[in-house]
Amino acid sequence: MTVTEQPPAGVGAAYHEIQQFYARQMQLLDDGRVDEWAATFAPQGVFAANAHPEPTKGREAIAAAAGAAHGQLAAAGIRRRHWLGMVAVDGQDGQDGQDGTKARARCYALVFEIPRGGQAALRLSTLCEDELERGPQGWLVTHRAVTRDDLV
């Protein structure tokens, strides 16, 4: 029986940063602030999902996709709340000689929907696998893969 691997000590310092990055990122998405949402991805960042035929690439496309989805929901009187949780971070600090910091995160994401005047409900459960990079302004997602549990 193997011992569970745990991250090296230095990586722990980034953990609360990434937790809070995710909190802000989800709030931007749910509030329809789609340019700021897209700016949490690297300029050439990728958003891939098993529910989409093709990955979305770059901030402009990521903002456009989020804007379209948010507009449809708003027109239907529905608010979405994305919850990320069970966040596990693996750091790759110092592995590539860059002055930034890279990390990988694997977490769960739930999507709740709340119709105006109606009952809040769980809509989706997903797995979210991120590659992250820390630049001068903070963390950015360079690659995200979202896997809907119901489609696996």
Residues that bind its own copies (CB under 8 A): 1-4, 6-7, 12, 15-17, 19-28, 35-36, 38-40, 59, 63, 79, 81-89, 106-108, 110, 112, 114-125, 137-139, 149-152
Shortest separation between residue 98's beta carbon and its own copies, angstroms: 19
User: From the CB of 68, what's the least distance to its own copies, in Å?
Assistant: 17
Q: 76 vs 151, which CB is nearer to its own copies?
A: 151
| Minimum separation from the CB atom of position 81 to its own copies (A) | 5
Closer Cβ to its own copies, 48 or 78, answer by number = 78
Choose between 131 and 140: whose C-beta lies nearer to its own copies.
Answer: 140
Please enumerate in sequence order all residues whose Cβ is within 8 A of that of 127, keeping only pairs 6 or more positions apart, or say none: 106, 107, 108, 109, 146, 147, 149
Please tell me the total number of residues recorded for the chain in this structure: 152
Residue among 89 and 143 whose Cβ is closer to its own copies = 89
Strands 101-115 and 56-57: unpaired
Strand partners, 81: 112
CA 4 – CA 49 distance, rounded (Å): 29
Closest distance between its own copies and the C-beta of residue 3, in Å?
A: 5
Beta bridge partners of 104: 90, 131
Q: For residue 47, which of 112, 129, 113 has the smallest C-alpha distance?
A: 129
User: Positive or negative CA dihedral for 94, 97, 100, 102?
Assistant: negative
Write down the least CB distance from residue 69 to its own copies, Å: 17
Residue whose CB is less far from its own copies, 69 or 111: 111
